[in-house]
Amino acid sequence: MDKPEPVYQVGQTVRVVPGQPNHTSRRGTIREIIWHHKDQCFHYYIAEAGKRVSKRYKAEDLAADDVEPLAPNT
């Protein structure tokens, strides 16, 4: 079976859609995309304010966002 194209791309700004599996509101950029063979879908990892978020998200957990995320503290 061929994999579909991912909904989001690395570097794209997204926000986490609040709901049952997502209790924390987040906004960041896609940092990594992996194919989950068992679920047959892509999982996305994000970075928020320059810090890696360890939780993985499915496409339906995210929404494209035009607002630039916060820059990391320097």
Average pLDDT over residues 36-43: 94
On whether residue 60 sits in a domain, the answer given is yes
Find the helix or strand (DSSP H, E) in which 5 lies.
none
On whether residue 36 sits in a domain, the answer given is yes
Rg from Cα positions in the chain: 12
The total of structural domains in the chain comes to: 1
Give the model confidence (pLDDT) of 6-39 as tens digits: 999 999 999 999 988 888 899 999 999 999 999 9
pLDDT bin (cut points 50, 70, 90) of residue 3 is confident
On whether residue 58 sits in a domain, the answer given is yes
DSSP character at residue 50: T
Closest CA to 59 of 17, 31, 20: 17
Give the model confidence (pLDDT) of 46-63 as tens digits: 999 999 999 999 999 999
Domain containing 29 equals: 13-64
pTM: 0.85
